[in-house]
Structure formats: C-alpha cells, structure tokens
Copies of this chain bind each other. A is one copy, B any other.
Amino acid sequence: MPEVQYFPIDRLRAFVVQVFGRLGVPDADAEQAADILIAADRRGIDSHGVARLKAYCDLLSAGTVQPRATVRVVRETPSTAAVDGGNGLGLVVGPKANAIAIEKALAVGSAWVTARNSTHYGIAGYYAMKAADRGLIGWSMTNASRVVVPPGGAERMLGTNPIAVAFPAGNREPPVVVDFATSAVAFGKIQVATRTGKPLPEGWIVDAEGRPATDPAALSSGGAMLPLGGDVEHGGHKGYCLGALVDLLCGLLSGANWGPFVPPFLAHHAVPERSVGAGIGHVFAAIRVDAFMDMAEYRSQIDDWVQTFHATRPAPGSAGVLVPGDPERRAEAEREKTGIPLLPAVVAELRAVAERVGVRLD
C-alpha cells in the first residue's frame, strides 16, 4: 500500500471549486459539483471523488461537456418532470433535477424526474441523501457506459448502473442509505487485483468469448463484468434485471442513450457508433414519509428497525451486522478527523490538473 497524503476537507473542496471555475463553470455550479466529489471522498468512496477530477476536466477542456449548460424541463405533470441537461456536467444537472423531484414530492406526495443529455453525476447516494434531509425517501439511479455482460452473452451491454435509496433519520439513528452498483463487484476491486496479480474470485468477470474468467487481464482484453449474482446459478439473471431496469428508466424513459450506446465517461474512450438518445441519463424519485405516517411514528420505527438489525446474532468471527450506510458513516467520521487520504498517483494527477488550469494545490 503506497503511503497516502492527507488533505483537509475544506482545502480540497476549495481547490475543486477553483478548478471548475477556471474551466468556465459558474461559481454556484462549481460549488455544487465540488460538494458531490468531496462527499464521495468523505464517505470513503474514493473511486468517485477527486480521483475523477481530471476526467471531468478533460471533458470540459475538450468541449465535450458544456461548462454553462442550460438545464430545462421539457415535459411535466404535477408529480413528474423530464429534464434536459443541455450536455452539462452531471454534477450540475443531477442536483437541479433532484431538486425538482424534491419540490414536486413536497407538493403532491411523491415525484419522479428523469434527466437526459447529461454526463457522469458522481455518487448516486448524494442525491438520495439530499431528499432524506428534507424528510423524504430519496431515490437516485443513473446509467453508464457499457461494461456488464448479460447472462449467456459475450459482450458488454450495460453499465454498472447504480441504485441509491435513502430513508430519513430517526431520533437516535442516522439515515439508512442504500447505494450500490448493479454489477457483481466494483471496478476498483478488479483494478486492485490487476495490480497485485492475484486471480479473481469466480463470478466477477468473463473473457472476450463470454467464458467465466479469473485472470483480471481478461477484462481489459475484451472481457466484461458479470452482473450482481455472478453466474445464473447464483442469481446473475437478477442482477441483469436490475441493471436493465436502471437502464430502461434512466436511459430509455429519459430520452438519453441506453444499453451499449451510452457514451463513455473517459474522454479517450471510443464513443459508440450509434446514438439512440442524448447523453447519459439519471432518474430521481422522492416520497414524503408523512404522506404515509406521522413523522414522529416514523422516527421511532426507523430507530427500532436499525437497532433490531444491529442486534442480529453475529456469525462466528463476524464483527456484527451493519445496516446500509454504516460503512460510509464510519469512513466519514474518521475522515472528518484525519482529512481525505489520497494516493500518490491521485495527488500527482491533481497537481497536473492544477498546473493546467493555473491554480495551486497546497
């Protein structure tokens, strides 16, 4: 494990705001975008934090993404809206669409908002938690460029298509936050294995012919990731169903690209030959808890639920049962004290970005 360098949260956030600003992103949008990246780093989801800043910058520098995009509602009903992101940063389009879902849910009980013509929007959980802060159950999903193979297939057809849902806090317990990719495993875990040279567990990937593989090199040689569940014997068809569900809502329903036609996040990756919509797509939903029960009753019940699951009898050698959101909360508590740990390679990349746009990373 290479030695990490710790950066104070506020300093890192200010740096990200400056970088986006230099690339033409308006102040408020730069603040918003930085808030999402830093939230990922705070919560221990290192793959989605400032480690991705360069990728966003590449897209802005290349003109592939508009720094000052117009986000507009193209169709709406009392409880729904279809948003066009104007080919802006997902980190800016996402919060605007999510805010519409929240306002509509507060007005009529619940809401669904799609966003098309957008780009990578950061961690899905950020959006769901924003709704939970307002006493709503928040949902957030996005499609992504292809890397997952359907059962029986030999090519990449779906993205890691994450799902996040957050339930408002209780009186004593914090929000319950579900946030996971619908692939069997995070891409980062395969990258780690690639570096160490160890074989992968079965059920993570297939090779370029669609055969089960454990050599991590098979993925970069035309292979694909398996959906949650892995092979069909272990429920891989269910993970495929989940990934397809996210794709149909975020891609097809929104009017974005879907399936194998979703454009890539990384500027140097090839754009699919066919386009079936605009950019990538997200979905945000929000549900008023007090449309179903009094908030006081809810807060008491969710405390009870969390404490009941924490009290599950543990298996031998287990440190006990967690509830969704616990690992990220632990990371957050730790990092609020230590600052954000960044790997040398990430620090070097951030310094290169700093130099490119003319700001300093102290």
- Which residues of A come within 8 Å of B, CB atoms? 75-80, 82, 108-112, 114, 137, 150-155, 157, 165, 167, 176, 178-182, 184-185, 201, 203-204, 206, 209-211, 228-230, 233-235, 237-242, 244-245, 248-249, 252-255, 258-260, 276, 287-289, 291-293, 298, 301-302, 304-305, 308-309, 312-316, 318-324
Contacts and interface: CB of A to CB of B under 8 A. Distances in A.
A249 B153 contact: no
Contact of A252 (B180, B238, B260, B302): B302
Contact of A254 (B79, B152, B241, B292): B292
Contact of A112 (B110, B153, B179, B244): B110
Nearest to A315: B210
B79 A155 contact: no
B234 A78 contact: no
A346 to B, nearest CB: 26
Nearest to A261: B308
A101 to B, nearest CB: 10
Contacts of A289: 253
The binding surface of chain A is classed by DSSP as mixed
B292 A114 contact: yes
A298 to B, nearest CB: 8
Contacts of A291: 75-77, 80, 82
B315 A259 contact: no
A152 B314 contact: yes
A244 B323 contact: yes
A319 to B, nearest CB: 7
Nearest to A312: B153
Residue picked from A201, A229, A301, most chain B C-beta under 10 Å? A229
B79 A301 contact: no
B77 A109 contact: yes
B211 A178 contact: no
A80 B110 contact: yes
B210 A180 contact: no
A206 B244 CA distance: 29
